[in-house]
Amino acid sequence: MVEWIQAHEAFLWWLTAASAAVFALFLVAVPWLVARIPEDYFAAEKRPKKQSAVNHSYAVLVLLAVMKNALGGLLVLTGVALLVLPGQGLFTIMLGLALMNFPGKFQLERWLISRGPVLRMVNGLRRKKGQTELYLDNEPP
């Protein structure tokens, strides 16, 4: 094992630097993204319909969806590897899952946000950004 580490020292330094960069990116991106969630996003049982400002052809939409899901899958696989390597494995897995489209994703997101500590943390980040708190029922708080 020691021989492998010595043989791949440069790779491990690059991996450590990439891990630190991803962590710094998450420190900036997560509060910004959380502040952009509409306050009533999780109030309904089903995902709210998106209103697209730009009309693309079907081929472009399919290509974008494939690329987004491929990037999400790559991030999930990278996150799994980072669970045993130096890095932010759980953050990377969560980012990958957020990018991907799969059946039941909204229900999983709604279940996660409904956990008390998660909702308190998210609402705390929203308050710091001057946004109103998220609510889970059809009635605002």
DSSP 14: H
Q: What is the pLDDT of residue 127?
A: 93
On the 0-12 / 13-18 / 19+ scale of CB atoms within 10 A, 96 is: buried
Strand, helix or coil at 89? helix
Reading the block at residue 22, the tokens are: 């991803």
Question: What pTM was estimated for this model as a whole?
Answer: 0.66
On the 0-12 / 13-18 / 19+ scale of CB atoms within 10 A, 141 is: exposed
pLDDT digit string (tens) for 25-75? 878 888 888 888 888 888 877 776 766 656 778 888 889 999 999 999 998
- What mean pLDDT do residues 132-138 have? 83
Residue keyed to tokens 């998106």 = 50
pLDDT digit string (tens) for 64-94? 999 999 999 998 898 888 787 766 677 778 7
